[in-house]
């Protein structure tokens, strides 16, 4: 058997989602906003879903002039039937919405645990369920689940978030196995701490849980296990999501694309 030529082939195709409809949850800010804008820049008609009406309006305004469009859809993902209906007819599904509470298990409010699992695991299941008939019918689809390094590793005081992200990893792999014969891929993107309001709101809770001053949380808690000592930017995560939607990633499915600055290398 002869070795393949080391010479480079043709350049990788640019992402063209013209004619495709993408749904992005948690799109009013942070990673979701960056994903919505990136996919719209590639030509997609983006359904931006969130509870934050003002944030969605600002996103829609920011999306004007891109190759695709950004349409705002106010939706509470705890309304699971509405979530499933919202996903009908989508070609690209980005499950991004999330919430966080930092508490020891014995102090963790059961109602919040339930809400976190509903929004971050059960809603993605219902969204995937709603999107698959259309994807299967056309023989093409992309499911990208914004997981976390916490889908692969646990941290103290985050029982609900870690449980939800671990469950999302399993759901994503199952969707990959079922979707493969139909041209549908399903993958996770796993960032470490991202510069988002969700992370910024954790600082006080983390300081309280770890009994340290708030100004020490970033270095001593959030970035302690990362070899790269900075927060990842939302746009970096959006580029990973975009890659998984492109033709060069058609053989990538059932996996986790880790953007953790070396955290899981330990």
Rounded mean pLDDT, 165-181: 98
Pick 150 or 218 by higher pLDDT. Answer: 150
- Quick check: is 213 in a domain? no
Active site residue 161: yes
Q: Tell me the percentage of the chain whose pLDDT exceeds 90.
A: 83
- Quick check: is 202 in a domain? no
Q: So what's the pLDDT on residue 2?
A: 44
Identify the burial level of 213 via C-beta atoms within 10 angstroms of its C-beta, where 0-12 means exposed, 13-18 middle and 19 or more buried. exposed
- Quick check: is 189 in a domain? yes
CATH code for position 106: 3.40.50.720
Measure the CA–CA gap between 34 and 130, rounded to whole angstroms.
Answer: 24
pLDDT band at 3 (very low <50, low <70, confident <90, very high): very low
136, 157, 161, 193: the active-site residue: 161
| Residue 16 CA from chain centroid, whole number | 20
Q: So what's the pLDDT on residue 11?
A: 63
Q: What is the CA radius of gyration of the chain?
A: 19
Q: So what's the pLDDT on residue 234?
A: 96
pLDDT band at 130 (very low <50, low <70, confident <90, very high): very high
Rounded mean pLDDT, 153-164: 97
- Quick check: is 226 in a domain? no
Residue range 22-39, pLDDT digits in tens: 999 999 999 999 999 999
Q: So what's the pLDDT on residue 205?
A: 83
- Quick check: is 227 in a domain? no
Distances, alpha carbon 108 to alpha carbons 105, 116, 164, 201, 228, in Å: 5, 12, 15, 17, 31
Q: How many domains are contained in the chain?
A: 1
Q: Tell me the percentage of the chain whose pLDDT exceeds 70.
A: 95
For residue 13, pLDDT over 80 is answered with no
Chain mean pLDDT for the chain: 94
Q: Which domain holds residue 76?
A: 21-194+233-258
Q: So what's the pLDDT on residue 218?
A: 85
- Quick check: is 218 in a domain? no
Residue 140 phi, psi dihedral angles, 5° rounding: -160, 140
- Quick check: is 3 in a domain? no
Residue range 71-108, pLDDT digits in tens: 999 999 999 999 999 999 999 999 999 999 999 999 99
Rounded mean pLDDT, 168-193: 98
The reported pTM is 0.91
Rounded mean pLDDT, 194-200: 82
- Within 8 A by CB and 6+ apart from 211, the residues are none
pLDDT band at 208 (very low <50, low <70, confident <90, very high): confident
Measure the CA–CA gap between 1 and 39, rounded to whole angstroms.
Answer: 41
* Residue for token pair 């969700």: 198
Q: Are 43 and 16 in contact (CB under 8 A)?
A: yes
- Quick check: is 222 in a domain? no
């Amino acid at each position: 058997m002869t070795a393949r030529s080391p010479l480079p082939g043709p350049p990788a195709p640019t992402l063209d989602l013209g004619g495709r409809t993408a749904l992005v949850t948690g799109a009013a800010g942070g990673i979701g906003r960056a994903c919505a804008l990136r996919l719209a820049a590639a030509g997609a008609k983006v359904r931006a879903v969130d509870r934050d009406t003002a944030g969605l309006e600002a996103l829609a305004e920011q999306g004007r002039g891109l190759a695709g469009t950004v349409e705002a859809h106010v939706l509470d993902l705890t309304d699971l039937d509405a979530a499933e209906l919202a996903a009908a007819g989508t070609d690209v599904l980005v499950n991004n919405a999330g919430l966080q509470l930092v508490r020891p298990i014995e102090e963790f409010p059961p109602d919040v645990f339930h809400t976190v699992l509903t929004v971050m695991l059960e809603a993605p299941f219902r969204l995937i369920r709603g999107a698959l008939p259309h994807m299967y019918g056309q023989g093409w689809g992309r499911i990208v689940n914004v997981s976390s390094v916490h889908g692969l590793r646990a941290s103290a005081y985050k029982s609900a978030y870690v449980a939800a992200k671990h469950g999302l990893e399993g759901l994503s792999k199952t969707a990959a196995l079922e979707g493969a014969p139909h041209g549908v891929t399903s993958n996770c993107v796993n960032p470490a701490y991202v510069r988002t309001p969700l992370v910024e709101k954790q600082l006080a809770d983390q300081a309280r849980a770890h009994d340290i001053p708030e100004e020490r949380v970033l270095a001593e808690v959030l970035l302690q296990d990362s070899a790269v000592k900075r927060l990842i930017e939302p746009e970096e995560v959006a580029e990973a999501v975009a890659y998984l939607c492109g033709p060069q990633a058609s053989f990538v499915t059932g996996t986790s694309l880790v953007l953790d600055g070396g955290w899981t290398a330990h």
